[in-house]
């Protein structure tokens, strides 16, 4: 198990990528661990039928949010788009399956471009130096056409959560979590245009590649605010590994949290508040949902499924930076997602 570091006081030179697997698809022990920059080539030889690849992007603004998912599960591809107007609660969703993942092209590294091509939904993520150009179209999402064009910045100084975790029974997962990426551009849904609020619109990316067990479940929480403040918290898949994906950002610099973050809804109600906290008080946040969304794609008469629930709203509370100083969080847009799968 390793913690890999990069010299951040000089221009970052990407290291030679470490292979995630050997030629037979077995986890490379040298890849296990955590780093603040992508360092692993996540190609997945072997393990046919058990490989899981996905890129999940979320765009959070004070007025609206957008969630886009592209996944390749070997036997099926999946593309999804969800848009929510936070003021009016107007929303539109589309989930599209593609047999044998036809038209679903995903890269082996977090900085690679990717695309999902289907007559009902087209997603394109084109990589350029320091930014991603995101375009998406659908002729009918909730009864109206969708067209969007967004530029997502990847500032050179912004660090990310990069983690490789072994599972039992020769399974494993590699992830890159990028949070607080500035976004500009607009979404056109039906007859209305939605613009990104300058300085207050942020993207997060979840890049995941691995060999997963048949059944799994996990929870993830994300927020970002002006000034390079952000958080990524998760549970359900790193237990018993001695590793966590929990992290805070202060001015774009990442502070990795080795302790668990408790993520719990305060009562049994769809829009009940959530509490996120650590035992030492470094994280003490309340998440107030404004809207909830569920996606439940099914295959094989329901024998294979992925139940996803997402809550969109705002975070308030206090964080403590590496010096122990209190950093307030006020009305920061973000989300919480839970997943339960048999895939």
Query: pLDDT tens for residues 38-66?
Result: 999 999 999 999 999 999 999 999 999 99
Average pLDDT of every residue of the chain: 93
Query: pLDDT tens for residues 266-288?
Result: 988 989 999 999 999 999 999 99
Residue 108 has pLDDT above 90, yes or no: yes
pTM above 0.75, yes or no: yes
Residue 5 has pLDDT above 60, yes or no: no
Selection from 213, 182, 180 nearest residue 196 by Cα: 182
Query: pLDDT tens for residues 296-324?
Result: 998 887 889 999 999 999 999 999 999 99
* 3-state helix/strand/coil string of the chain: CEEECCCCCCCCCCCCCEECECCCCCECHHHCEEECCCCEECCCCCCCCCEEEEEEEEEECCCEEEEEEEEECCCEEEEEEEEEECCCCCEEEEEEEEECCCCEECCCCCCCCEEEEECCEEEEEEEECCEEEEEEEECCCCCCCEEEEEEEECCCCCCCEEEEEECCCCCEEEEEEEEEEEEEEEEEECCEEEECCCCCCEEEEEEEEEECCCEEEEEEEEEEECCCEEEEEEECCCCCCCCCCCEEEECCEEEECCCCCEEEECCCCCCCCEEEECCCCCEEEEEEEEEEEEECCEECCCCEEEEEEEEEEEEEEEEECCCCCEEEEEEEEEEEEEEEEEC
Q: Which of 3-17, 140-154, 285-299, 321-335 has the lowest mean pLDDT?
A: 3-17
Distance CA 166, CA 248 (A): 23
């Amino acid at each position: 198990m390793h913690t890999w570091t990069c010299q951040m006081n000089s221009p970052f030179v990407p290291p030679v990528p470490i292979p995630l697997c050997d030629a037979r698809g077995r986890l490379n022990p040298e890849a296990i661990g955590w780093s603040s920059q992508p360092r692993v080539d996540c190609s997945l030889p072997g393990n046919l039928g058990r490989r899981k690849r996905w890129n999940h992007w979320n765009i959070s603004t004070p007025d609206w949010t957008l969630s886009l998912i592209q996944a390749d599960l070997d036997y099926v591809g999946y593309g999804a788009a969800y848009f929510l107007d936070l003021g009016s609660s107007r929303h539109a969703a589309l989930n599209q399956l593609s047999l044998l993942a036809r038209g679903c092209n995903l890269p082996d590294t977090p900085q690679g471009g990717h695309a999902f091509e289907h007559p009902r939904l087209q997603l394109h993520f084109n990589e350029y130096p320091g930014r991603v150009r995101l375009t998406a179209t659908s002729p009918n999402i909730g009864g109206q056409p969708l067209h969007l064009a967004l530029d997502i910045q990847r500032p050179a100084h912004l660090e990310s959560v990069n983690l490789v975790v072994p599972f039992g029974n020769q399974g494993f997962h590699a992830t890159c979590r990028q949070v607080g990426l500035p976004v500009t551009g607009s979404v056109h849904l039906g007859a209305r245009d939605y613009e990104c609020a300058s300085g207050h619109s942020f993207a997060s990316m979840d890049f995941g590649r691995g060999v997963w067990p048949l059944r799994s479940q996990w929870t993830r929480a994300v927020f970002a605010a002006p000034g390079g403040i952000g958080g990524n918290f998760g549970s359900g898949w790193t237990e018993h590994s001695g590793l966590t994906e929990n992290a805070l950002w202060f001015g774009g610099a990442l502070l990795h949290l080795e302790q668990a973050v408790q993520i719990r809804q305060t009562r049994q109600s769809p829009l009940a508040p959530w509490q996120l906290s650590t035992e030492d008080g470094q994280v003490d946040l309340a998440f107030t949902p404004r809207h909830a969304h569920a996606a439940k794609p099914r295959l094989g008469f329901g024998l294979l499924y992925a139940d996803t629930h997402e809550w969109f709203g705002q975070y308030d509370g206090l964080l403590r930076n590496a010096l122990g100083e209190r950093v307030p969080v006020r009305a920061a847009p973000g989300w919480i997602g839970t997943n339960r799968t048999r895939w």
